[in-house]
Structure 1
């Protein structure tokens, strides 16, 4: 096996490993942002429900 072929194979393996790590990190960040967005929507709904409940009691 030629020396250039070995470096090519090692380069391909390294690029695959780096790509897997980057994709995994990207999906982790995307999942975290999705959870934050869901929490924000639920908090907004709860806020408006509580506000309307307390507004009715005061009137």
Structure 2
């Protein structure tokens, strides 16, 4: 009975390690895509549009401060 319990514990531990490895792989893939800026394309985010909007907001705030 003890040997069966130890074997089952080992199986559960192995399954947990597999699940953790899969999660870590997905995290690493997202980090890689983020580093390449590919993640924005994957989700349809146009980075240039966002940069343009931020630049316009910054210009507007600077203009408001001058007057």
**Same fold judged by TM-score > 0.5?**
yes
Which runs of 4 or more aligned residues in structure 1 lie more than 2 Å from their structure 2 counterparts after TM superposition? none
Question: If each structure's helix is expressed as a fraction of its own residues, which one has the higher value?
Answer: 1
Partner of 1:7: 5
- Structure 2: 5+ residue stretches without partners: 39-47, 49-67
- The structure, 1 or 2, with the larger RCO (C-alpha pairs under 8 Å, 6+ apart) is 2
User: How large is the RMSD of aligned CA atoms in angstroms?
Assistant: 1.9
TM-score (norm 1): 0.61
Provide the rounded CA distance (Å) in 2 between the counterparts of 1:17 and 1:10: 11
What TM-score, normalized to structure 2? 0.54
